Amino acid sequence: MKNRLLIIWNKQLVGTLERHTKGKVIFQYSQAWLNNVKKPISLSLPCRAEQYPPAISTAFFENLLPENNARTILAFNRRFDKKDVFAFLENFGEDCAGALSIIAEESKMDFTSGQYECINTQLVEALDKIMSNPKKYTLFPEMKKARLSIAGAQDKLPVYIEKNKFYLPVSSGSPTTHIIKPANAWFPDITKNEAFCMDLAQHIGLLVPESRLMKLGHHELFIVSRYDRNKTTQKVIRIHQEDFCQAMGLPVDRKYQESGGPGFLQCRRLADEFLSDSGVDVRINFARIMIFNYLIGNHDAHGKNFSIIHEPNLKFAPFYDLLSTQVYPLDNKFAMAIGRTYRHDRIKEHSFKQFARDMNIRPEKLNSLMAQMIQVTTKTYAPLLAEHEKKYGPSKIYNDLFEIIRSNLGQLNP
C-alpha cells in the first residue's frame, strides 16, 4: 500500500502527505520549501517544520474533493472507500483547485505543458448516459481518464477548452482552464438559471468569472472560466486559492453555518485578519453579495462558495456558483444567517441591522448599498432575462426567475 504523496506547487515540492488511519492524512512542509519559498498552502496551515495533525491536515485536503454521488461512484469505480481522502488524492489529485498538484511519491513528475486529449466524443457519450439514467450516472466518474479533482456537490468537470473543443490533461503540467456543468434532471434548466444569475451579477457590478452556455450535440452545458488559471499564448498558469472553509481549517461537513460552519461574522473576521489591505472593500463586497443572493433567492451560498486568492498577494476571489435555489421546491433557509435569521421569509429590518454589526459597517452604509442594488437590479433583470431567452431559447425558468426576483425586490423595498 502506498503511504506517501507529494504536494507540488509551480514544479516545486511543497511537502508530503502521509496516510493516517481511517482515510485521514498528515501534511508536512518540505525543508527546502520552508528555506526557499516560505509560502503557506493555506491560512490554516502556516509554514512550520512540524507535521500537522490529521484533523487539520484532512480538513484542508478533503475540501479539494467532490461530494455526494460523484464521490461515491468515483470511489466505487477505483475500488477504495469513499472516506479515504488519501486514496482520492492519489487517484485524482493531479489538477486541483488552486495551484497544487498531488502525485504519488514514485510517480514520474511530468510537467510538460500543453499535453491534452480531446474528449468531445466521450463527453457526448457520457452526457447521453446521464440523460438516460440520471440516478446511475454522473459526469465526472464517466470521464475515466480524468486524474483531477473539483470540489462541490454539483455535477461538474474541469476541462481545457480551445476553439469549442473539450480536452482533458495528459500530464501534470497541463492544467484545465474551465469548469463545465451539465443539465440536471432534478433541477430543470439549472444551466440557464446559473448562466443568467452570473450574467446579472456581472451587469450590476459584482466580480465574477466569465461564463456562458454552450451546446455540445443536443446537450446544453454551463461553462465558467477558472479564475485560478491564467491562460497565456504559451501555457496555462495555476494560481493558488482556497475557500473559506479551508482557510478556517473546517472539514467539508461543516460548510453550512447551522452545522458549525462559518457565518458572515466569522468570514468578516477572517477578512479583517488576512485581507486587511482591502478590508473595507471586502466587507462591502460581502454586503453586496448578501443582498444579491437575497434578491435572486440563492440560499446555498455557504463557506465553500467564498474563496481567497493567494498570488501574488492575498485577495478576495471572484464570486461563483451564483444561481437561484428559490425557483425549486427546496428549503428556503439561507446557508448563512442574515443577522440571526436563516429563513428567507422571516428576514426583517432587525436582521439587516445585526448583519451590519457583524460586517462592522454602519447601518446607513448598508441601507445605501441595498438601495443601489435594488435600483440597478430593478432596471436590469427583466431586459436581461429577455436577452437570455432570445439567445438561448424559451424556458419556464425565465418566468420563474422573473417572479422570484420581482417578489424579493418587493420584500426588500416595500
Q: Cis link prior to 312 (omega < 30° from 0)?
A: yes
Predicted local confidence at residue 93, as pLDDT: 84
Q: Which residues are catalytic?
A: 300
DSSP three-state, residue 242: strand
pLDDT tens for 94-141 read 888 899 999 888 766 666 667 899 999 999 998 998 888 877 777 766
pLDDT tens for 349-402 read 999 999 999 999 999 999 999 999 999 999 999 999 999 999 999 999 999 999
| 351 close to 339: Cβ distance less than 8 angstroms | yes
Gyration radius (Cα) of the chain, Å: 21
Classify the phi-psi angles of 180: left when phi > 0, otherwise alpha if psi is within -120 to 50, otherwise beta.
beta
Predicted local confidence at residue 79, as pLDDT: 79
SS3 content of the chain, % helix, strand, coil (to 5): 40, 20, 35
Predicted local confidence at residue 348, as pLDDT: 93
Q: Starting from the edge strand earliest in sequence, which strands make up the sheet with 25-29, in order?
A: 25-29, 12-19, 4-9, 100-104
Mean pLDDT of the chain: 90
